[in-house]
Amino acid sequence: GLFLPSEANLSLDSSEGLLARAVVQVVIEQLLVSGQPLLIFLEEPPGTLGPQLSALGQAWLGFVVRAVQVGIIPDTLLVPVAVTYDVVPDAPCEIYHASAPLGLWTGALAVLRSLCSHLGCSRQICSRVHLAQSFSLQEYTISARSCWGSRQTLEQLLQPIVLGQCTAVPDTEKEQEWTPIIGPLLALKEEDQLLVRRLSHHVLSGNSSFLITVPPPPACAVRGLLVGRVPPPGSWELQGIELLSQNELYCQILLLMHLLPQELLLLQPCQSSYCYCQEVPDRLIQCGLLVAEETPGSRAACDTGRQRMSRKLLWKPSGDFTDSDSDDFEEAEGRYFRLSQQLRCPDFFLFLCRLLSPLLKAFTQAAAFLCQGQLPDTESGYTKQLFQFLQATAQKEGIFECVDPKLAIRAIWTFRDLGVLQQIPSPAGPRLHLSSTFASQDNQEKLEQFFRQFICS
């Protein structure tokens, strides 16, 4: 094993980290060249606040990315590994502090704890190791960089829709959500920093994508479509009457894909938003939540008659095979769906929606808090304000599912990406300000209603 002193934070902005960083870089390169496996922990231990991604884990992954880029090794396979426990392991609950490198005493203490557990000195904890599908780092890098030219920020994607200025959801990839700037990644270019963060999110999401066969966002998307059509107390049978078009469902899923953190989408490595949205309706049909409908005037599913080709396909060069020809057939109405009327469907639908309810309710209450919050303020100060508001609201309503400091932080980060909050430098440090666009009560109410449409009460 490689034991580093506690002051070696692998950061370039301190003189203590230079030697440790050089040593770690050489060791990792030698391990990769010799074909040895390398275990990197990408997630912070339980009990820590802030981002789930480990700063040091990203730094180590950055070394691997750099080794492939400079040609030290041609490629490497990444295997997402997850460990689940029946009881949350003991972890320090320190706020705003990343985990430090394991020192000699820390490693020795871990060994002693392990020996004590095997000797029966402490209660046994059952654990389970999950291995996801491996993927090529070289292929992932090429795929990720190919779509960066069309990236847009969350503010560009969703703010016009929130304010009612447009209804079309841009079918493009979202720029990586804001995360705190960490020292270990300062050695990389901005583009490579983005690559490491996206790669880390993909690895973490790959660990849990097989545990839930139906991701929660599509259920919330269906809920968003039904809000404007069926009154809130409407029964499941009444909601099942409504026809849901594929295009409408596609747009709602895109909204949630742009809005939610990547780790909640359960994306496969290198999976684009287009592939995700196309796959989701079929998964909802397979689990019995949706039923495909044939509307009058639409082509039957078993119709093998000649389809009319679009003008784009008719004028396509004979040697151009860049796109699938099946994508260029014109469909009269598209696909339509209804909610299934099976007995188990209402409970299953409610279960999927409730998985995202804490985060969506935190967003909704954060929007309602805009008119009460004291701004400008530091990020930590405004986080405390919002968390106190979440606690007060929970005491009043008797529902405590969104009373979590992590949700308060996530709401502030999302509002920053969305252009609701702006971080402006000041002599005392960066401070959060309310943007002029959302200073009006009307726009604040629109923001609150935008989040509320996806919540299933």
Within 8 A by CB and 6+ apart from 52, the residues are: 43, 44, 204, 263
- 356-452: CATH number: 1.10.10.10
- d(C-alpha 128, C-alpha 126), whole Å: 7
Looking at residue 322, its pLDDT comes to 46
CA neighbours within 13 Å on the CB side: how many for 370? 27
Q: Are 432 and 382 in contact (CB under 8 A)?
A: yes
Other C-beta atoms within 10 Å of 197: how many?
Answer: 21
**179 closest CA partner among 98, 100, 253:** 98
In 188-331, where does DSSP find H-type helix?
190-208, 216-227, 236-239, 246-259, 273-286, 311-314
**Where in the chain are the domains?**
16-156, 163-296+307-345, 356-452
Instruction: Give the global pTM.
Output: 0.67
Looking at residue 395, its pLDDT comes to 94
Angular region, 282: left φ>0, alpha ψ -120 to 50, beta rest:
alpha
- pLDDT tens per residue across span 235-287: 666 677 788 888 888 889 989 988 988 777 777 656 777 788 888 888 888 88
Within 8 A by CB and 6+ apart from 200, the residues are: 42, 53, 57, 58, 61
- Provide the terminal-to-terminal Cα distance of the chain, rounded to the nearest Å: 51
Angle at 155 between CA 355 and CA 141, to 5 degrees: 75
Burial of 263 (0-12, 13-18, 19+ CB in 10 A): middle
Angle at 200 between CA 85 and CA 360, to 5 degrees: 70
Looking at residue 450, its pLDDT comes to 95
Within 8 A by CB and 6+ apart from 99, the residues are: 44, 45, 48, 54, 56
- d(C-alpha 204, C-alpha 266), whole Å: 9
- SS3 state of residue 254: helix
Q: For 137-197, give the DSSP string.
A: HHHHHHHHHHTGGG-B-HHHHHHHHHTTS--PPP-SPBPPPP----GGGTTS-HHHHHHHH
- d(C-alpha 421, C-alpha 409), whole Å: 13
Q: What is the pLDDT along the chain (457 residues), one digit of tens a residue?
A: 666 655 555 554 455 667 777 778 888 899 999 999 888 888 776 655 544 677 778 888 888 988 988 899 999 998 888 776 666 555 444 444 444 444 444 555 555 566 565 555 555 666 777 777 788 888 878 776 665 555 678 888 899 999 998 877 776 666 555 444 444 454 556 556 666 666 666 666 554 444 456 678 888 999 888 887 776 655 666 677 788 888 888 889 989 988 988 777 777 656 777 788 888 888 888 888 899 887 655 555 444 444 444 444 444 444 444 444 444 434 434 788 988 888 888 888 888 889 899 999 999 999 999 999 999 999 999 999 999 999 999 999 998 999 999 899 999 999 999 999 999 988 888 899 999 999 999 999 999 999 999 998 7
Q: Which helix (H) or strand (E) holds 423?
A: strand 421-424
Looking at residue 195, its pLDDT comes to 64
- d(C-alpha 178, C-alpha 413), whole Å: 7
- pLDDT tens per residue across span 381-399: 999 999 999 999 999 999 8
- d(C-alpha 224, C-alpha 452), whole Å: 9
Looking at residue 448, its pLDDT comes to 96
Burial of 253 (0-12, 13-18, 19+ CB in 10 A): buried
For tokens 């689940």, name the residue: 84
- pLDDT tens per residue across span 67-117: 988 899 999 998 888 776 666 555 444 444 444 444 444 555 555 566 565
Looking at residue 154, its pLDDT comes to 86
- pLDDT tens per residue across span 330-339: 443 478 898 8
Q: Are 353 and 219 in contact (CB under 8 A)?
A: yes
Dmax over Cα atoms in the chain, in whole Å? 76
Looking at residue 166, its pLDDT comes to 83
- d(C-alpha 245, C-alpha 99), whole Å: 47
